């Protein structure tokens, strides 16, 4: 009997060592919250994180457990923490072993108490993602590679998000096995406070299951093909990121390094005219490289402007030229 018990214990320990990973704690506004511990006794745990049973992956894009890596229910001693909109949230993993794949963070508003809500029935919206950062599909730098290095991922709740009870869902998608995606989602319960008034709608919202398809080329992918070896782009699966309707200047190189284009226009009137307006402004300000991504709740819009000039105080130098390209993709 003692020998059998040792075998069982050893098997359990080996399973944990060889397993892949899951969120085990959160830092929210500088305060640390212990997450769910899947290999501990569930009856004695109380956490803001929803329960899940192991670090093992979900292997189907349409699995019934894909919303929060469980049956959709809260734990017996479920906790919720209050957090002001705009607060930074850091998810922590105790281990992670896969360097190829995206990181995604979603939220979902509960119709009442989140403790009573089934996560599979909620409408989810994405607030952050990190896919292929640089390099090629098989050997480049990915979001999950950064998690492997730091065992953490940092994002912020949109500052304009309306108050209420929400679930937040951190998901790692491992693509290291050809055409065999591995999903690792975990959720926690939050009560968002503040004076925000906005919530996403339309194409920003998805269900889980339902938000992904097994035929999605970003999911059913072999990153080791000859073509993949020279591919330097990757579209993160799921809906577009909702940033609260704010104008986000994601990359701007100026003499001061500041993102001064952000307050130039009011939300709600951003439309295709903005392309010409912003491009002419870029030319007048003589900015060498600017990438502007604009998204509003009512009229989702991506705008990218490149202006290839060096910053200088006087007029353009002899032989300098303007080059611009724009791409507007309604979502």
Q: List pLDDT tens digits, range 226-254.
A: 999 999 999 999 999 999 986 544 433 33
Instruction: Give me the CATH code for the 20-230 domain, please.
Output: 2.70.50.70
Task: Give the model's pLDDT for residue 190.
Answer: 98
Name the pLDDT band for 18 (thresholds 50, 70, 90).
low
Is pLDDT at 287 greater than 60 in this prediction?
A: no
Q: Of 109, 123, 294, nearest to 203 (Cα)?
A: 123
Is pLDDT at 206 greater than 90 in this prediction?
A: yes
User: How far is residue 121's CA from residue 65's CA, in Å, rounded to a whole number?
Assistant: 12
Task: Give the model's pLDDT for residue 264.
Answer: 34
User: How far is residue 279's CA from residue 275's CA, in Å, rounded to a whole number?
Assistant: 6
Task: Give the model's pLDDT for residue 85.
Answer: 98
171, 68 Cβ separation under 8 angstroms? no
Domain extents in the chain: 20-230, 245-331
- Mean pLDDT over each residue of the chain, to the nearest integer: 79
Task: Give the model's pLDDT for residue 274.
Answer: 57
Q: List pLDDT tens digits, range 110-132.
A: 999 999 999 999 999 999 999 99
User: How far is residue 184's CA from residue 155's CA, in Å, rounded to a whole number?
Assistant: 17
Task: Give the model's pLDDT for residue 20.
Answer: 87
φ, ψ of residue 124 in degrees (nearest 5)? -100, 145
- For residue 34, with 0-12 CB atoms within 10 Å meaning exposed, 13-18 middle and 19 or more buried, which class applies? middle
Q: What is the DSSP letter of 291?
A: E
Tell me what the mean pLDDT of segment 166-183 comes to. 98
User: How far is residue 316's CA from residue 120's CA, in Å, rounded to a whole number?
Assistant: 57
φ, ψ of residue 151 in degrees (nearest 5)? 55, 35
Please provide the size of the chain in residues.
331
Number of other CB atoms surrounding residue 29 within 10 Å: 13
60, 76, 215, 229, 260 from 248: Cα distances, Å: 34, 40, 31, 32, 11
Q: List pLDDT tens digits, range 298-322.
A: 333 333 333 332 322 333 333 333 3
Task: Give the model's pLDDT for residue 245.
Answer: 80
- The strand pair at 88-93 and 23-28 is best described as antiparallel
Name the pLDDT band for 26 (thresholds 50, 70, 90).
very high
User: How far is residue 192's CA from residue 81's CA, in Å, rounded to a whole number?
Assistant: 9
Contacting residues for 304 by C-beta, under 8 A, at least 6 apart: 291, 292, 293, 325, 326, 327
- The strand pair at 81-84 and 182-193 is best described as parallel
Tell me what the mean pLDDT of segment 207-215 comes to. 97
């Amino acid at each position: 009997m003692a020998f059998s018990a040792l075998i069982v214990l050893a098997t359990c320990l080996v399973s944990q060592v060889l397993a892949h990973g899951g969120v085990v704690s959160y830092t929210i506004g500088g305060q640390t919250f212990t997450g769910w511990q899947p290999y501990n006794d569930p009856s004695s745990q109380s956490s803001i994180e929803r329960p899940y049973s192991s670090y093992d992956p979900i292997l189907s894009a349409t699995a019934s457990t894909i919303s929060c890596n469980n049956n959709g229910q809260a734990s017996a001693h479920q906790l919720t923490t209050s957090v002001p909109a705009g607060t930074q949230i850091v998810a922590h993993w105790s281990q992670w072993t896969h360097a190829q794949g995206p990181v995604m963070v979603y939220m979902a508003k509960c119709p009442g108490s989140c403790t009573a809500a089934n996560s599979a029935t909620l409408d989810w919206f994405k607030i952050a993602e990190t896919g292929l950062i640089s390099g090629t599909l098989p050997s480049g730098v990915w979001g999950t590679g950064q998690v492997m290095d730091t065992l953490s991922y940092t994002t912020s709740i949109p500052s304009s998000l309306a108050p209420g009870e929400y679930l937040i869902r951190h998901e790692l998608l491992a693509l290291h096995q050809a055409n065999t995606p591995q999903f690792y989602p975990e959720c926690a319960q939050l009560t968002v406070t503040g004076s925000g008034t906005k919530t996403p709608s339309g194409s920003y919202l998805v269900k889980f299951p339902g938000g992904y398809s097994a035929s999605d080329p970003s999911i059913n992918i072999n990153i080791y093909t000859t073509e993949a070896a020279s591919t330097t782009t990757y579209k993160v699966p799921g809906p577009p990121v909702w940033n609260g309707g704010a104008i986000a200047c994601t990359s701007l190189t100026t003499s001061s390094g500041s993102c001064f284009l952000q307050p130039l226009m009011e939300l709600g009137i951003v439309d295709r005219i903005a392309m010409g307006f912003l491009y002419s402004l870029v030319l007048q300000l003589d900015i060498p490289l600017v990438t502007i991504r604009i998204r509003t709740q009512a009229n989702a819009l991506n705008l990218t402007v490149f202006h290839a000039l060096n910053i200088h105080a006087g007029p353009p130098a002899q032989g300098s030229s303007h080059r611009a390209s724009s791409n507007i993709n309604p979502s």
